[in-house]
């Protein structure tokens, strides 16, 4: 696991979007695992901007969302299908046939869950999984006590999760009670994952997820088992981490982060570090640095 703490939410979001864009440019047929929630809205806005301004191409990629509410149709304003269409899919050149979410209206929900797992496997598995974190530490809708090896299935939403999602619904009682979600085990199968958390209200659960013991009570702690997992945080979400100096040191010294350090550091915005970076970068990497 790596933890990257950026000075503010914009810088954290920008870094996540740049990593996704880099992966997509390297592999146009990327299989992306996508997440919903308010935190992700700015990531998708940034990707849409990159599509419009830099020609970021989504035409060959495939996507699988983590979850969908049971009982909401795809055109319901609060369904995750609607969210994804609105924030990303209809704003970029993605082929909607290549975008997948579980069907929360399926007559046979058990069969739908098994089918979703088969569909992911049939596409070669997820290359890059984007994750948010719920206030109780859930990933997708893997509520407390989710098995660390669980697969896609129906989960009952906890009171904490329903309360967290109330602002997105017209009335509290309209928040669904159940959702289909990829399991913790399904998530751990992805080749690499990035979790984005911003804001003070995520600080306590982020500290538990990173520095606490692995437990089925907090599904995000399972990410400690993943060999390619990065948490990208703003200062507020990282404020309860005990070892943040160490995480900063790793980010500043890890060679893989070099192009991203140059563009996301505040100094770089003043030109100094970006210039030094340019002097060190091979020609083909310059466009990344200059973006
Ligand atoms: C929902 C989603 C999660 C997401 C969470 C975070 O519960 N099922 O996948 O991580 O929202 O939401 P927010 O970004 O609004 O805090």
For residues 200-227, give the mean pLDDT.
98
pLDDT score for 261: 87
Nearest CA to ligand 1 atom 11: 37
pLDDT score for 11: 97
| Local structure of 10: helix, strand or coil | helix
pLDDT score for 201: 96
Q: Going by DSSP bridges, is the β-strand pair 67-69/178-181 parallel, antiparallel, or unpaired?
A: antiparallel
For residues 195-222, give the mean pLDDT.
98
> Are 24 and 59 contacting, i.e. CB atoms less than 8 angstroms apart?
no
Residue of 37, 64, 69, 141 to mutate, ligand 1, most atoms within 8 A of C-beta: 37
Residue of 36, 154, 160, 166 to mutate, ligand 1, most atoms within 8 A of C-beta: 36
| Local structure of 80: helix, strand or coil | helix
Detail the DSSP E strand segments found in the chain.
2-6, 31-34, 62-65, 67-69, 99-100, 128-131, 153-156, 178-181, 192-197, 229-234
Nearest ligand 1 atom to alpha carbon 141: 8
Give the model confidence (pLDDT) of 115-170 as tens digits.
Answer: 999 999 999 999 999 999 999 999 999 999 999 999 999 999 999 999 989 998 99
Of 68, 103, 117, 143, which is the active-site residue? 143
pLDDT at 266 over 70: no
Is the minimum distance from the CB of 134 to ligand 1 under 6 angstroms? Answer: yes
Nearest ligand 1 atom to alpha carbon 35: 9
Among candidates 263, 273, 232, which has minimal Cα distance to 250? 232
Nearest ligand 1 atom to alpha carbon 135: 16
pLDDT score for 47: 98
For residues 187-194, give the mean pLDDT.
98
Neighbours of 112 (CB within 10 A): 20
Is the minimum distance from the CB of 218 to ligand 1 under 6 angstroms? Answer: no
pLDDT score for 263: 62
Of 51, 87, 100, 138, which is the active-site residue? 138
Determine whether 136 is an active site residue: yes
> Are 259 and 277 contacting, i.e. CB atoms less than 8 angstroms apart?
yes
pLDDT score for 40: 98
pLDDT at 285 over 70: no
pLDDT at 231 over 80: yes
């Amino acid at each position: 696991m790596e933890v990257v703490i950026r000075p503010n939410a914009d810088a954290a979001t920008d870094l996540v979007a740049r990593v996704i864009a880099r992966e997509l440019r390297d592999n146009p047929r990327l299989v992306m695992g996508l997440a919903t929630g308010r935190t992700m809205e700015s990531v998708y806005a940034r990707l849409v901007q990159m599509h419009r301004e830099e020609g970021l191409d989504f035409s060959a990629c495939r996507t699988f969302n983590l979850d969908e509410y049971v009982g909401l149709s795809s055109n319901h304003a609060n369904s995750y299908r609607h969210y994804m269409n609105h924030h990303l899919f209809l704003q970029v050149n993605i082929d909607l046939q290549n975008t997948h979410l579980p069907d929360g209206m399926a007559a046979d929900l058990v069969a739908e869950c098994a089918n979703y797992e088969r569909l992911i496997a049939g596409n070669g598995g997820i290359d890059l999984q984007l994750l948010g974190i719920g206030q109780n530490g859930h990933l997708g809708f893997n509520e407390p006590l989710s098995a660390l090896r669980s697969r896609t299935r129906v989960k009952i939403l906890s009171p904490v999760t329903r309360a967290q999602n109330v602002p997105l619904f017209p009335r509290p009682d309209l928040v669904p009670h159940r959702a289909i979600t990829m399991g913790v085990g399904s998530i751990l199968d992805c080749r690499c994952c990035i979790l984005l958390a911003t804001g003070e209200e995520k600080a306590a659960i982020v500290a538990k997820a990173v520095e606490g013991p692995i437990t089925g009570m907090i599904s995000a702690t399972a990410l400690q088992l993943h060999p390619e997992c990065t948490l990208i945080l703003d200062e507020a979400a990282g404020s309860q981490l005990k070892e943040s100096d160490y995480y900063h040191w790793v980010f500043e010294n890890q060679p893989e982060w070099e192009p991203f350090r140059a563009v996301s550091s505040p100094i770089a915005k003043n030109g100094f570090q970006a210039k030094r970076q340019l002097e060190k970068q091979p020609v083909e990497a310059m466009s990344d640095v200059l973006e």
